[in-house]
Amino acid sequence: MDILEIIKPENQVFCKTKLMTDTPLSYCPGCGHGTAHNLTMEVIDEMGISEDTIGVAPVGCSVLAYDFMNIDITQAAHGRAPAVATAIARTWPEKYVFTYQGDGDLAAIGTAETIHACNRGENIVIIFVNNGIYGMTGGQMAPTTLEGMKSSTSPFGRDISTMGSPLKMTELVANLPGVYYVTRQAVHNHKSARKAKKAIKKAFENTRLRKGLSFVEIVSNCNSGWKMTPNESNIWMEENMFPYFPLGDIKVDGKLK
Amino acid sequence: MAELKLMKGNEALAEAAIRAGADAYFGYPITPQSEVIEYLMTEHPEDRTGMVVLQAESEIAAINMVYGAASTGKKVLTSSSSPGISLKLEGISYLAGAELPAVIVNVVRGGPGLGTIQPSQADYFQSVKGGGHGDYKLYVLAPSSVQEMADFVEDAFDIAFKYRAPVLILSDGLIGQMMEKVNLKDQKERMSNEELIENYGDWAVTGKTNRERNIITSLDLQSEKMEARVRRLMKKYEQMEKEDLRFEKIMCDDAEYLIVAYGSSARISQKAVELAREKGLKVGLLRPITLFPYPKQELFELADQVKGILSVELNAGQMVEDVQLSVQFKVPVEHFGRTGGIIHTPEEILEALEQKIIK
């Protein structure tokens, strides 16, 4: 039987969401960004809100998110995505506005913008991909790099006494009254990805209901930066990242868990 | 409706922004321009026109809010003073690179560093020579009265949208704080979202409908594409020089000596010209209204007529370099300026002209 006779709509059990472009992903094989992108686009597609969604891309590995997400996107200066999103949400209150940011962008250079957008309770979604390292610039220490973890700027491991502790930005913003929903998810296996998608959907639903800010952290791997194979990096993530950054809901419907 | 009012420069600018149909203002308090946001917060334009006003957590956040609203085609402005503008420069460079229309107001105070809260024109270099990183320029308007503080807001928006580029209104603490009568224009209606999508739907991010997605970015990792972007920007600046140069000539027809001054210095220099004329000295004043584009050709031609030129500025000598470049050493060019927040008097300016140029 010819392959084209098999590829028919009635035989299709899974397909790439139409909100992802055909541009090959620029992420390293094994990286979680592709799945996080795909889940976000699936949610927007399923909710039927793509015409009313405006995305804000960060600086970092996902700076080129606009190459892969087939929606209107503006790309912000390093760390400033929550400020950019604030203005869009304020001037277009009927739109769905989300930022997609990494840990360096959101929890180091953009700390002030993150905290204050959260504190004002802007009606936006923040998707925060935390892989504990600066991937784009070649594996430097991030605010979320674990104690003892090696990077090109902490070659002997992160020394807490001189470099500070890994920052739990998600727990921090959960304490702000303007923040309505805070959760920490992962996307490295099917079970986690399904849960993460539900969380992202809840976040966008909150925007629809004008509940304020929803903050979805996705703990992810960086096999290139961590200098591991993709599988090794996922195991390492489960064993080391998850104990420090535990998965699950932190704040739901405006109430801390 | 149009009305005549006695207002501070900063307040006139804020009121003019509402009347120009601005969609949003984002700012952070800093002396001597805090009246802009104070006035807007008191006026509550959200009720008058639907204009959004928000006090940001920093000048950095404010300029990036401007970037966000401008990405969607909204008419948006911010204001600050010198140290605050330094913080905004990263965002201004991004606005230029991403080709976004926006208005930035600098009510200049003295520097460097925390400097002084008194008036100054020491941000000339920062304003016309780039300031932020990369190959870009700002269209720079320099008001010299409260009336121009008001009028230039709409002019600045027109230029910003004509070129899809950031425009700077370069004022100073003197113009911002002084009170004068000002003619305020009629209220212009804000553009509806439907009109906005019709006008700017080919580039603004308003939600992808039945078209290709719109992307706002200043990033081009391919060198050829990035060079093409830089060339596109340079073309805009060439067009600005051809079509939107503004200056004013006062008593230049028979002038033997020339003063070049902008903003508050031009205001004071005009009095110095009158004093000179009373003494029988044929002195004229060239006031650049736009600092980029700069009246280079006009100065080049005036250099054939006058014996010498004095650049009068509230700084240690910045615009004087552009005067020298423009006249290409045809006649002597000198600088006179005060710093630290001290405002020169007309008598001082005339004395400097006599000592440095007339001799």
Q: For residue A202, what pLDDT is reported? A: 98
What integer pLDDT is reported at residue A4 of this predicted model?
A: 76
pLDDT at B127: 98
- pLDDT digit string, tens, across residues A143-155: 999 999 999 999 9
Mean pLDDT for the stretch of residues B173-198: 98
- The C-alpha angle B39, B42, B43, rounded to 5 degrees, equals 85
Q: Are A134 and A60 in contact (CB under 8 A)?
A: yes
Model pLDDT, residue A13: 73
Domain presence at residue B227: no
- Among the listed residues B331, B273, B268, the one whose alpha carbon sits nearest the alpha carbon of residue B300: B331
Q: Is the ipTM of this complex over 0.95?
A: yes
pLDDT band at B294 (very low <50, low <70, confident <90, very high): very high
The answer as to whether B239 is a domain residue is no
Interface test with A, best of B216, B220, B222 (most A CBs within 10 A): B216
The CATH number covering residue B289 comes to: 3.40.50.920
Q: Where do the domains of chain A lie, and which CATH numbers do they carry?
A: 27-256 (3.40.50.970)
B142 and B52 share one domain? yes
pTM: 0.97
Residue B222, domain member (yes or no): no
Are residues B49 and B153 located together in one domain of the fold? Answer: yes
Does residue B241 fall inside a structural domain?
no
Angstrom distance (rounded) from CA A29 to CA A230: 8
pLDDT of residue B281: 98
Mean pLDDT of B90-117: 97
pLDDT on residue A3: 78
Taking contacts as CB-CB distances below 8 angstroms, the residues of chain B near A65 are none
Determine whether A248 is exposed, middle or buried from the number of CB atoms within 10 Å of its CB (0-12, 13-18, 19+): exposed
Pair B142, B256 in one domain: no
The reported pLDDT for the residue numbered A8 is 79
Which residues in B lie closer than 8 A to residue A87 (C-beta atoms)? 24, 26, 52, 54, 64-69, 74, 76
pLDDT-based confidence at residue A7 (cuts at 50, 70, 90): confident
Interface A:B, Cβ pairs < 8 A? 125
Number of domains in chain B: 2
The DSSP bridge pattern shows strands A179-186 and A248-252 to be antiparallel
Q: Which of B182, B181, B183, B205 is nearest to B193 (CA)?
A: B205
**Residue B224, in any domain of the structure:** no
pLDDT of residue A12: 73
Among B162, B193, B224, give the residue marking a domain's end: B193
Let me know whether B141 and B54 are in one domain.
yes
CA B171 to chain centre: 6
Arithmetic mean of pLDDT, B76-88:
98
* pLDDT value at B273 more than 80: yes
For residues B137 and B256, membership in a common domain is answered with no
CATH number of domain containing B16: 3.40.50.970
- Provide DSSP, A218-239: EE---HHHHTS-HHHHHHHIII
- Are residues B168 and B34 located together in one domain of the fold? yes
B146 and B264 together in one domain? no
Give per-residue pLDDT as tens, A23-34: 999 999 999 999
Nearest CB neighbour to A51, from listed B61, B207, B214: B207
A56-82 exposure pattern, b = at least 16 Cβ within 10 A, e = fewer: bbbbbbbbbbbbbbbbbbbbbbbbbbb
Identity (one letter) of the amino acid at A143?
P
| Residue A7, token pair as written in the block | 């590829």
Kindly state whether residue B176 falls inside one of the protein's structural domains: yes
> Stretch A186-192: mean pLDDT, rounded?
96
| A5 confidence band (pLDDT: 50, 70, 90) | confident
Q: Would you place residue A10 in the very low, low, confident or very high pLDDT band (cuts 50, 70, 90)?
A: confident
Shared domain for B175 and B262, answered yes or no, is no
Confidence of residue A9 (pLDDT cuts 50, 70, 90): confident
Of B178, B193, B208, the residue that ends a domain is B193
Assess whether B25 and B136 both reside in one domain: yes
pLDDT 10s digits, B236-254: 999 999 999 999 999 999 9
Q: Chain A residues with CB inside 8 Å of B66's CB?
A: 87
Q: Which domain holds residue B181?
A: 3-193
Domain boundary among B129, B163, B193: B193
Judgement on whether residues B30 and B138 belong to the same structural domain of the protein: yes
B185 in the same domain as B267 = no
Give a yes or no: residue B260 inside a domain.
Answer: yes
pLDDT (average), residues A54-58: 98
Residues B140, B35 share a domain: yes
**Residue B238, in any domain of the structure:** no
